[in-house]
Amino acid sequence: MGLEGAGFETIGTIEIDKRARATISANRPTWRQVGSGDVVALADAPGDLGVDRRELDVLAGGPPCQPFSMAAQWNSSSRMGMTDARAQTVVATMKLVGVLLPKYVMLENVAGFISGASSALPYIQSALQDIRLTTKTQYRVEHRTINAADFGVPQNRKRVVVILVRDDMDWDWPTPTHVERPVTAWDALGGLIGENPPTRQGNWTTLLESIPEGWNYQWLTSRGGGQEVFGYRTKYWNFLLKLARDKPSWTLAASPGPSTGPFHWDNRPLSSSEMKRLQSIPDSWTLTGSYREQVKQIGNATPSLLAQAMGKQLATKMGMTPSEGLRPFDRRDDCPSPTQPKAIPAHFEQLVGAKNAHAGEGKGPSPRLDRKASVVPA
């Protein structure tokens, strides 16, 4: 959606998830879905991709982030990086670069994609060296960690954008447009009337009324302002995490648990319509599947306005006149004051008391490799 908003024509999509493929078909039936959607199989047998070598303007994609995620950086048993089977999508992407030799390649991923022990950057650089030797075409690697909120997305979402620049092309990064005044959750969601909002699940979520807007469970620790129900830093960050109306949203997850935020300031899960807005996906974009399937598609997406900002810069560098495209939400001046937190429900009072905080970085419990003895977070 972002590249379309920047003025590019999509001539093919490679998407392996069946539900996401159905969503593409529902919204853009003229877009060609290439092969089975498996980029690994396509790279091994590219066939006719409908474009000549060096003709394609942009090859864009988002390989699975799990091999490079923050959890993989800290958990030695999952710090697999390019040895993870899912990282074969990166290998396949680089094979397609060698086949197509596009002017630009744009990839979006988590920070660990280009830094840390599981980084894909050494592999990408090695693959580009092979492309240079076999095709006499050279690419340089540009990368930057970008907060989507700096480009009008109503969500603090830091991701790495990697641009591979062919030897005859130019690149410099677009200037952020919303650093001084980011678009807030209220700008995006205030007054939104949509489907019936989902109901919260699980016992812990009854504590949401006792947590102020913009806080998580840490309000109910020795470092917060509420009663001490939990030990400081003993839960994952988005446990009971709530939106603040006057700030951009926290980062949306693709597979949240029943106690995983961000939750609405009305102390409930966000609807898919609300989540679309926080990812700057247009209201007109129809999502197929169940609520959980829609949440997965939204959480895995690149925010449309961020992609559009990158796309407009690419278009400018190619001598195109970028389209007007998608517009950020207008800034509202009617944001209500936050609701004051309530006392914790009576059935949690037995948990109130002094708690041990997390022991410190690197001193927490190590994950057990025995799958029969799994650890389930509260």
Banded model confidence at residue 197, pLDDT cuts 50, 70, 90: confident
Name the residues annotated as catalytic. 65
Mean pLDDT, range 30-48, rounded to an integer: 93
CATH code for the domain of 8:
3.40.50.150
354-363, long-range: CB within 8 Å, 24+ apart, which pairs?
354/222, 354/228, 355/221, 355/222, 355/228, 355/229, 355/230, 355/231, 355/232, 355/234, 356/231, 356/234, 357/221, 357/222, 357/231, 357/232, 357/233, 357/234, 358/231, 358/232, 358/233, 358/234
Query: Is 235 inside any structural domain?
Result: no
Does residue 76 form part of some domain? yes
Tokens representing 125 are 């650089």
Count how many domains the chain has.
Answer: 1
The per-type count for the chain, helices as H runs and strands as E runs, is 10, 4
Instruction: Reply yes or no on whether the pLDDT at 159 is more than 70.
Output: yes
pLDDT confidence of residue 79: 56
Tell me what the mean pLDDT of segment 185-197 comes to: 86
Q: How far is residue 272's CA from residue 269's CA, in Å, rounded to a whole number?
A: 9
Residue at 146 is within a domain: yes
Q: Give the model's pLDDT for residue 356.
A: 94
So what's the pLDDT on residue 193?
A: 72
Answer whether residue 374 shows pLDDT above 60: no
pLDDT value of position 362: 59
The pLDDT assigned to 370 comes to 36
- Does residue 283 belong to any structural domain of this protein? no
Q: Which pLDDT band holds residue 118 (cuts at 50, 70, 90)? A: confident
| 117 within some domain | yes
Task: Work out the average pLDDT over 239-262.
Answer: 96
Closest CA to 345 of 239, 231, 205: 205
Which residue, among 31, 24, 23, has the nearest Cα to 50 in the 3D structure? 31
pLDDT tens for each residue of 254-264: 999 999 999 99
253: in domain: no
**pLDDT tens per residue across span 277-317:** 999 999 999 999 999 999 999 999 999 999 999 999 999 99
Residue 159 located in a structural domain: yes
Residue 329, pLDDT > 70, answer: yes
pTM of the model: 0.90
Domain that includes residue 37, residue range: 2-180+301-317
